[in-house]
Structure 1
């Protein structure tokens, strides 16, 4: 499951457009939020009249960044979100990627936009570089400057909850007709299937009955160690004999399609799982993953990419 999300900000209303997403998902999914602001190095310059050399005051700039981030963090903390702040100096894309690795983030969430000209070039190039170089999934929320400002209050984005709004149900978010395999499926075949479809959870069925679930982690834990003394032929022989039934989880936690999505998120959190098969009257209807829930909270903007 996603546990720690890195949220890069640059002080603009556009960048803060990601904060409603943070407020909505952090509580239900018990996420830790790492707020990051990166300042670009400023080369020394010479004033035209006095010929004095002006040198960047690095500490002052970083302190200004920390003050800004702490103000944002206070608003999030008041709403029950766990937050830490980080100010760095360097090229934004490289520092974002480096911070994600050093802080142990398993998701980067940030905004992008449709502006043209220099603004698009600068901000777009950062987003593109992060997408290219990040070792974890990156979620980009598209929002125009006007949309971002409309969702901000005192410069920090918040979003009112409409008490009359209908709750989001599991059936609204689930992936219907999920990919399934029978229990006798060899593990290498299941692994290839997951890689081909870019999924991390595979449901195991016998006929129309759900009998288990296997994750990419289950498969990794059952693969031979790279340090094994076995030959390639011996490894392949053993893997061919290993079936999904031998590595799957049999006691599967499921959810009904009419349950609220918030209840599904709480169930995932309680049991530390990343997916719930959706079952109605013993019939498998679909699967709901943590990624489905994260995507749902970006529907007011357009998600450019969500990995996982």
Structure 2
């Protein structure tokens, strides 16, 4: 790597993960942070024009089509953003010997069994969204020798829409909730993903030739159901002083079959992160700590806005 600061191109800065990555990656180089207006992953011309203009040494791509249910009726759009766009990014990165860091999902697996999924387990996506993300992974692996693919699960943060913020809002509006209890995974905060991303890029910049490229699972430690997640966050929100209409006991467990959706959800979203921990010497926190931190951040936001 040249002595000059590396140029890092970050996509999707208005999404929940892109927003968090913007702050985490800024100290690592000359950060070019682009939203959909500057780099539209559904358009090949927009992708290539942005790459040629900025000539990045590192491409970090959290942008994705994430409307899981809508993807069932919009497969072309999902495949364009989640499969064709990463292929273009990877091909450009290979020509310029740049690093492409791309994010994927537990939805590439069929969700069977109870063992945590390993990186080399066969992918058998059951939804259009899962298939589009798997095809994007395969395109990156095929085209870009210098790549990192980070599969994660149940992502949440203080920015953007997610399960935590939805449940928190409903807990302030309703007297009871029904939440699915037979899907298991690890809620993973955008802060954790961004912190790990920055650590991996620091390793890469120190020694690109010896870097351990490849695919890795990244999720917080522990596991829970969506029902267990909801009850914990309501308990913690009450402890932090949020005004809630319901208590954890008012959240009833239901089966996936009781809440039908267009796209099937994996029953088993557990990800085995041993490869990431052992390869890079990382300690991953439990999922509960991320929930606590985001609730604290959300609770502090009104005061922060008043100060500004």
* TM-score normalised to structure 1 length: 0.32
Bigger strand fraction: 1
Bigger helix fraction: 2
* TM-score normalised to structure 2 length: 0.32
Q: Which has the larger radius of gyration?
A: 1
